[in-house]
Every structure is written in C-alpha cells, then in structure tokens.
Amino acid sequence: MPKYIAVGRVEDYPPGKGKHVVVRDKPIALFHVDGNFYAINYICPHMGGPLGEGKLSGFVVSCPWHNWTFDVRTGQADHAGGHSVSAYEVLVEDGEVKIGWLKQTEPQ
C-alpha cells in the first residue's frame, strides 16, 4: 500500500478553506493555510460535526455545530483540557496534494 494517496491538485483547494476528502476509507478535512496543507480527522469528537466545513481562523478550525476548536497542524484542541483529533502527514509533489499516515507526535 502506498504511503501517500493523491487527493487532487493544489489549485483544487482554495486558501483559507477546508475540504472533505476520503483516504483509505477515512473521512479527512484538508486545509490550505498560508501555502501549506494540513489534514485532520473530518469528524469532531464532540457530536460528529463536519470539521472540514468549519470556520478557519489562522491555524484554528472551529466545528460548525458547537464551536469546538482544533489546531489544523496538530489536531490538538487550541485550549487546555480539550479533546484532540488525528492529524495526518501531507505532501505536495509536482502540484499534487497527497495525504499519508498519522503524524507522529512528540512525547510530552
């Protein structure tokens, strides 16, 4: 199985927006922020809201259902004590956006 799966071209994803993609049967929210791409789980852990449709402010997306917020770079809540979502590796190669496996987190 390839490490990265292509999900489209850079021009398919407007800056400052999220988009729903599916990789290996997993719903993922892909974000284009300041020329970089970030991928997190599409489903909010609170009540299953669509994070890819949330409002993006800098690197923080808020769930459109109940405003739970997550850093798109890490999947971590942007406040202490919050739940997190999975974050995935993203690679841009020859204008093609590819999503890989879960990001490895550094031990705390």
Q: What is the pLDDT along the chain (108 residues), one digit of tens a residue?
A: 679 999 999 999 999 999 999 999 999 999 999 999 999 999 999 999 999 999 999 999 999 999 999 999 999 998 777 799 999 999 999 999 999 999 976 544
Domain ranges of the chain: 5-102
CATH superfamily of 5-102: Rieske [2Fe-2S] iron-sulphur domain (2.102.10.10)
In the prediction, which pLDDT does 105 show? 65
Hey, which residues does 97 pair with through a beta bridge?
8, 92
3-class DSSP assignment, residue 52 = helix
Residue 48 tokens read as: 């299953």
Nearest-CA neighbor of 31 among 66, 74, 94, 82? 74
Q: Is 65 helix (H, G, I), strand (E, B) or coil?
A: coil
Question: 22: which strand partners?
Answer: 27
Residue 18 · residue 53 · CB < 8 Å: yes
